[in-house]
Amino acid sequence: MSTLTDTLALAASGMRAQAQRLRHVSENIANADTPGYHRKFIDFRPAAIAGDAFGQESGVTPGPVRLDRGELTRIYDPGHILADETGHYEGSNVDLMVEIADAREAQRSYEANLRMFDQARQMSQSLIGLLRR
């Protein structure tokens, strides 16, 4: 495989990883009001891509899902079925502000990878276009 097709595969691995990240963000937002829900997040790690010319881990893959061990918010609602003797129950530890920022960051990284993909494709196309003249 040539370097430019490697670039295509690398950009695709980056886009896949960011899509996975956005998936967990949407999962967190959907469960923002679920009692006892811990925020989920993933970290990225290097991975080999198919047909890697350099024989090393140059792509990216999302790591295993991890749970945020942060403290759950205590919500006062004596009428709630989960409320303890003080009238509080434990909500989720999802911070919507953090999730929205994370989603925006995933979008920007996705766009950057998309731009790289397009760039590599245009470069290959113009290289082959030289033969046609």
Q: What contacts 24, CB < 8 A, 6 or more positions away?
A: 40, 41, 42, 65
> Is position 82 an interface residue for another protein (rule: CB under 8 A)?
no
Helices 96-132/3-30 angle, 10° precision: 160
Number of residues that bind another protein (CB under 8 A): 18
Is residue 97 near another protein by the rule CB under 8 A?
no
60 binds another protein (CB under 8 A): no
Give the integer Cα–Cα distance in Å for 73 and 87: 13
Among 3, 19, 59, 115, binds another protein (CB under 8 A): 19
Task: Based on the shown chain and the rule CB under 8 A, indicate whether residue 122 belongs to the binding site for another protein.
Answer: no
Using CB under 8 A as the binding rule, whether residue 81 contacts another protein is answered as no
Verify binding: residue 112, another protein, rule CB under 8 A: no
Q: Is position 121 an interface residue for another protein (rule: CB under 8 A)?
A: yes
Contact criterion met (CB below 8 Å) for 33 and 20: no
Report the greatest alpha carbon distance in the chain. 82
- Does the protein bind another protein through residue 8 (CB under 8 A)? yes
Question: Residue 94 or 120: which CB sits closer to another protein?
Answer: 120
Eight-class DSSP state of 127: H
